[in-house]
Structure formats: structure tokens, C-alpha cells
């Protein structure tokens, strides 16, 4: 869990005056490290393939995906006592502390990114753009056995996180899972963000069949390679320059992560690489797992906890509640949970927000930056005032009126949140009523099973022909095994048809997934009908492939729909310029 020590603020103040410098070349640092690091007894390398934690040294932990032969295929998170650094597609996607979130918004077309710092009811865009770093991470080759038989790798826990107010999927959270291992004590893992509001973590098991494939030397070699790439990545971000541009209210936090990115994390990873053969390997003996809890960090919200009792049932605590009953967690299967965040943020394209004499202040996630929203309001005969803010600046106000209206607001910034404050009875009257609606006309809204346009759920238009790329998804951490398995069991044509279905506008995801299973089963019968053992194995993997896309394919479905479908509005508008926004009536 991230640091909740009340003395942390004092520590941050002390850091504020620290000098942050480059850690220098590897050769220069190695000599110093050999003098400084004497005892590695508190460090550990975790060889268990089904444990997402790769290594731990002091308060720095690295999480990633390992294959059955021991290769570290990818690193997706680095955690310290103060923050979680999420890595996605060889870039830092976000940095999450207990109260602040740093979001990196990448513009691939122009090869640059912008940085947004978000805290509760506040956000700040750093007034600069930076070139996207070009760091190459290793991609070890996983050699599939000739018979195509490997243990089940689709096991662990998947969390589906939704907003309680709107029911929409929360795609930009950071989730951490804590549990108790009877043999190893308390354990903690950062969950992998699969996209589409899904978060995943494998659970360690005592499956000895994995030992047949596992090679410790591959594990140590790829830890060194991945560590070197992570060092390059951390040092590729001009974090000191970013911190020089933030306001004083978040400067101490920024300087803290700057110290970690330029000194602490690189030094830790470099030490592990140098002394890789001396770092102890954790014993591969898993005890009974219990006392599960999920900690959810949602940008702009208070962190929340979902505890699981020793019977593995979910109960309500603080701002998160579950939508499922008692569930038994089996580490050898894929366990799915659906939980809701009941924070104060609403969503664009919800139904009308309405009220009376009570003042109202809420924040909406509009889903994307640099966009337009249509704001519809009504205050009837008793006068009220409704103010809209974007990035802490006013972008629209009704004034103190008893009226209704519609306006379009252009939001030119990287924040994806809009704040609406209602001041009822602004003329001193009582007994008022008011309402408003925020509609994102050009934003494709993707729920779990369908994508649509606007609050009235208009259909989108096909802008390009549906495409396919075989088995696996772009950027998926499991491509190393999905692609060879798909080829080995003759699933490629079924995967292509599934891709094209996902890319077809207004399709239901469930229809695509069901057709995918049917196509794979037909392929099994076509190719292995004369070999009962191979036929059963093929059908087993078809079920696993279907289960995988059914549980976590929402992100690929949304990405395909967003790439090939369009929600451009056909309304004609007249625009007038405001100091902070373009207002259209």
C-alpha cells in the first residue's frame, strides 16, 4: 500500500531543496554501488511464473509478465513506498501516489506528449510539450513445445471496475491487490491494466508442471535486460524540468517522484543487475491464500478498499462496493469480480442531473481531452446560477437566471474532467428546481458490450474497412504465447474474423465473442477430427481463448471501434469566442 505515514509531508518538504542530478554512466555507478551495497539479504527475486512480482529490493518492487521458460516478457509497474509507476507500450502511462496522479497524454501523430497532474477537485497541465521517448524493451522468444501443450496461463483474478453513478467502466485507475500467503506472509501486487476497465493479476500456485519448462538462467538474464531498459525509460523523462513548472502546491510531490525517477529507482535496478547472481530467489512454496483486498486509486478520487474476508466473500468498505455475492477464489482458474467506485465523478452522456434548494458541486469525466461538449440546462422560474469550470477556469455561466438554454463548449486542454457548480436561489428566493445535461457529441462511448454516440445512443458511422491481425492484440502482454498457440491450433482464421467483427461499427461484443468460439470449435473439428486426444486439447484451448476475450476483450473492442467508427455530429452551429472556451449556441 502507498505510504500513509503522517510524517511524509515533512519528508516531502525536506526533499524540496534536494539537488536532483543524473545518475551518470553505468560504469561510473558500478564502482560506487559495490561500495554502497553490502547486504542483499532483504532483496528477493520471485521466480514463480504465476506471481506478477519480479523482484524486490528495499522498498522498490517490479511487476511484470513471465513466461513458462522463465523469461520476463514485460514490465508493467514499478512500486515504491510513495508511488506506483505504470508502464505501457514502453512508456510511462501514469504515476499514482496516495493523493495525486500524473497522467502522460501521448500524441503519436506529432511525436510528443503533455503532462497533467490531477488531485481531488483540482488539476494542473504543465505548460510544455515533450518528445516521446524512444526506449526499446527486450522481447524474449517463448518457444512453444512441438505438441502445443502448455499449462493453463489464463488464471488469477480479473477486476471489472465501474462508476456507481453512471455504470461506465473506469479505464484509468491503478489497482493494487493485497493478500496473505500462509507460507510467505503478507503479499502485495500491482494489477495489470488491461484497458476497458479491466485489471488483472495472476495468483501463485504450486503447479509443478511448470518446472519442466522453467530455466532460472533465462529469468536472471531477462531481469537484467528489462532492468536496463527501465533505467533508460526513467531517465528519458525530463522530470526536473517538469517540476520547475508546477505550482508550489504540488512541487514537493513532484520533486519526490523526480528523486525516485532519477536516483532511487535507477540505482535499485542497477544494483540488481550488477549483483543478479547474489540476489536470493524466493522459495517456490505457496501456502493457503486468504485475506484478499483490492485498493483502487482513481484519479481525482479518494483511494478506496474492497476487502475480502477469509471465506473469500466481498463486503462493502468505504467508497467501493461490489456487485457480486460470495465468491471463492481458486488460484488455478480465472476469477472474475465486478466492483463499483461510488466516488463523486459523473460521466459525459448521462441522463439529466437535477436538484432543488441544495447547492450542487460535481465533477464529470468527459472521456477525452481537446473536445466539445453540449451543455443543456434549465432553471425554470425561480432563479439559479450554474457555472462550468475546466482546468480550474470558468468556461461557461448561466448567470443568475430563470431560463433554459443549450450551448456548445470547446475544451482546449489535456484534462478529461469538467466541474459543474449549481448555486440555487441566487436571487434570494426558495423552492427552486433545476437540471442540466452534458453530452459529448463527437465522443464514441463504449460500454461493456456496445459502443454508441451521445446521450441518445446514436449509431456510429463506419470510416474505414474492418481489419485484422491474426491472434493476439496490439500491445497485449500475452502475444508471446497467444500468437504461437493460435497458429499451432489453427485458430488464425477465427482470430481474423473476430478482429473484423470488433472493427464493425455498432456490433455487439458478445456476438463477436460467441462467433469466435463457434469458429474455433469448427476449426478443431476440421483439423483434428481423426485424433481424439488432439481434438479434445484443441477444444480445451478454444474454450480458454474464448474465456480470455470474454473476460478482458473490452479494451480491444473499444480500440477497434474508436479506430474505425466516427461520431461526428451533423448539427450546424454558430460560434462565439470566450476568453477560455469557444461557446456555441
- pLDDT (tens digit per residue) in 95-131: 999 999 999 999 998 999 999 998 876 788 899 999 9
Rounded Cα distance between 244 and 355, Å, is 43
If you ran DSSP here, which 8-state letter would residue 351 be given? S
126-140, 181-195, 227-241, 353-367: lowest mean pLDDT where?
353-367
Which one has a higher pLDDT value, 204 or 477? Answer: 204
Give the pLDDT score at 571.
42
Give the pLDDT score at 316.
34
Single out the residue of 22, 66, 44, 71 nearest to residue 275, CA to CA.
44
pTM: 0.81
Give the pLDDT score at 3.
64
Rounded Cα distance between 251 and 577, Å, is 33
Single out the residue of 300, 376, 296 nearest to residue 337, CA to CA.
296
Give the pLDDT score at 490.
95
Look at residue 317 and tell me whether its pLDDT is greater than 50.
no
Contact 418, 374 (CB under 8 A): no
Which one has a higher pLDDT value, 303 or 585? Answer: 303
Mean pLDDT of 510-522: 97
Grid coordinates in use for 486? Answer: 493460435
Mean pLDDT of 349-373: 80
Burial class (CB in 10 A: 0-12, 13-18, 19+), 221: middle
Look at residue 580 and tell me whether its pLDDT is greater than 50.
no
φ and ψ at residue 464, rounded to 5 degrees: -150, 160
In this prediction, residue 440 has a pLDDT band, given cuts at 50, 70 and 90, of confident
Give the pLDDT score at 417.
80
* 3-state SS, residue 220: helix
CATH 2.60.40.1120, applies to 156-201+288-344: yes
Give the pLDDT score at 30.
44
Which one has a higher pLDDT value, 246 or 37? Answer: 246
Give the tens place of pLDDT for each residue, 21-70.
Answer: 333 444 444 444 443 544 677 789 999 999 999 999 988 999 999 998 99
Give the pLDDT score at 60.
95
Look at residue 437 and tell me whether its pLDDT is greater than 70.
yes
Look at residue 165 and tell me whether its pLDDT is greater than 80.
no
Burial class (CB in 10 A: 0-12, 13-18, 19+), 393: exposed
Residue found by looking up cell 481531452 in the block: 369
Provide the percentage of residues in the chain whose pLDDT is more than 90.
50
Which one has a higher pLDDT value, 557 or 447? Answer: 557
* 3-state SS, residue 558: helix
Which one has a higher pLDDT value, 248 or 11? Answer: 248
Grid coordinates in use for 283? Answer: 522459495
Grid coordinates in use for 53? Answer: 512480482
Grid coordinates in use for 282? Answer: 524466493
What DSSP letter does each residue of 150-183 carry, written as one string?
Answer: ------EEEEEEEETTT--B--S-EEEEEEEETT
Class of domain 347-442: mainly beta
Most confident of 322-331, 363-372, 418-427: 418-427
In this prediction, residue 11 has a pLDDT band, given cuts at 50, 70 and 90, of very low
Rounded Cα distance between 524 and 507, Å, is 26
In this prediction, residue 134 has a pLDDT band, given cuts at 50, 70 and 90, of very high
Look at residue 8 and tell me whether its pLDDT is greater than 50.
no
Give the tens place of pLDDT for each residue, 479-504.
Answer: 888 998 999 999 999 999 999 999 99
Which one has a higher pLDDT value, 566 or 585? Answer: 566
Give the pLDDT score at 439.
84
Which one has a higher pLDDT value, 351 or 57? Answer: 57
Please provide the average confidence, as pLDDT, over all residues in the chain: 83
Amino acid at each position: 500500500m502507498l505510504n500513509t505515514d503522517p510524517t511524509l509531508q515533512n519528508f516531502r518538504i525536506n526533499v524540496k531543496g534536494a539537488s536532483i542530478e543524473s545518475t551518470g554512466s553505468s560504469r561510473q555507478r558500478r564502482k560506487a554501488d559495490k561500495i554502497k551495497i553490502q547486504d542483499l539479504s532483504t532483496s528477493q527475486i520471485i521466480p514463480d511464473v504465476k506471481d506478477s512480482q519480479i523482484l524486490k529490493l528495499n522498498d522498490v518492487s517490479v511487476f511484470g509478465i513471465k513466461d513458462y521458460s522463465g523469461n520476463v516478457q514485460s514490465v508493467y509497474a514499478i512500486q515504491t513506498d510513495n508511488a506506483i509507476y505504470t508502464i505501457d507500450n514502453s512508456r510511462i502511462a501514469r504515476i499514482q501516489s496516495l493523493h495525486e496522479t500524473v497522467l502522460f497524454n501521448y500524441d503519436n501523430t506529432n511525436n510528443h506528449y503533455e503532462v497533467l497532474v490531477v488531485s481531488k477537485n483540482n488539476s494542473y497541465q504543465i505548460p510544455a510539450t515533450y518528445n516521446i521517448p524512444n526506449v526499446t524493451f527486450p522481447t524474449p522468444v517463448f518457444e512453444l513445445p512441438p505438441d502445443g501443450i502448455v499449462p493453463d496461463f489464463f488464471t488469477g483474478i480479473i477486476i471489472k471496475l465501474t462508476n456507481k453513478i453512471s455504470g461506465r467502466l473506469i479505464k484509468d485507475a491503478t489497482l493494487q491487490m493485497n493478500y496473505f500467503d500462509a507460507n510467505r506472509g503478507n503479499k502485495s501486487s500491482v494489477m495489470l491494466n488491461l484497458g476497458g476497465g479491466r485489471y488483472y493479476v495472476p495468483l501463485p500456485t504450486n503447479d509443478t508442471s511448470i518446472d519442466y519448462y522453467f530455466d532460472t538462467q533465462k529469468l536472471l538474464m531477462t531481469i537484467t535486460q528489462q532492468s536496463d531498459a527501465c533505467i533508460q525509460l526513467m531517465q528519458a523523462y525530463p522530470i526536473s524540468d517538469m517540476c520547475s513548472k508546477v505550482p508550489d502546491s504540488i512541487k514537493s510531490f513532484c520533486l519526490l517522484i523526480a528523486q525516485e525517477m532519477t536516483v532511487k529507482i535507477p540505482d535499485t535496478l542497477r544494483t540488481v543487475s550488477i549483483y543478479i547472481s547474489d540476489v536470493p530467489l524466493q522459495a517456490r512454496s505457496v501456502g493457503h491464500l486468504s485475506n484478499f483486498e483490492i485498493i483502487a486509486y482513481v484519479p481525482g478520487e479518494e483511494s478506496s478498499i474492497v476487502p475480502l474476508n477469509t471465506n473469500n466473500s466481498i463486503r462493502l468498505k468505504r467508497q467501493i462496493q461490489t456487485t457480486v455475492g460470495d465468491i471463492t477464489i481458486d488460484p488455478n482458474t480465472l476469477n472474475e469480480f465486478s466492483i463499483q467506485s461510488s466516488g463523486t465523478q459523473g460521466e459525459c452522456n448521462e441522463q439529466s442531473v437535477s436538484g432543488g434548494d441544495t447547492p450542487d458541486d460535481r465533477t464529470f469525466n468527459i472521456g477525452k481531452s481537446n473536445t466539445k461538449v453540449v451543455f443543456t440546462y434549465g432553471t425554470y422560474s425561480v432563479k439559479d446560477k450554474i457555472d462550468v469550470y475546466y482546468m480550474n477556469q470558468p468556461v461557461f455561466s448561466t448567470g443568475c437566471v430563470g431560463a433554459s438554454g443549450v450551448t456548445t463548449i470547446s475544451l482546449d486542454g489535456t484534462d478529461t474532467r469538467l466541474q459543474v457548480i449549481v448555486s440555487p436561489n441566487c436571487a434570494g428566493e426558495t423552492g427552486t428546481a433545476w437540471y442540466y445535461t452534458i453530452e459529448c457529441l463527437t465522443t464514441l462511448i463504449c460500454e461493456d458490450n456496445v459502443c454508441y454516440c451521445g446521450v441518445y445512443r446514436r449509431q456510429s458511422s463506419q470510416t474505414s474497412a474492418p481489419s485484422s491481425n491474426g491472434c493476439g492484440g496490439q500491445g497485449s502482454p500475452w502475444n508471446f504465447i497467444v500468437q504461437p498457440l493460435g497458429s499451432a491450433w489453427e485458430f488464425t482464421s477465427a482470430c481474423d474474423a473476430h478482429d473484423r467483427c470488433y472493427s464493425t461499427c455498432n456490433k455487439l461484443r458478445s456476438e463477436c465473442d460467441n462467433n469466435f468460439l463457434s469458429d474455433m470449435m469448427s476449426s478443431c473439428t476440421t483439423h483434428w477430427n481423426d485424433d481424439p486426444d488432439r481434438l479434445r486439447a484443441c477444444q480445451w484451448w478454444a474454450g480458454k481463448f474464448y474465456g480470455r476475450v470474454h473476460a478482458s476483450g473490452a479494451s480491444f473492442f473499444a480500440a477497434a471501434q474508436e479506430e474505425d467508427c466516427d461520431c461526428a455530429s451533423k448539427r450546424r452551429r454558430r460560434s462565439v469566442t470566450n476568453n477560455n472556451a469557444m461557446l456555441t449556441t
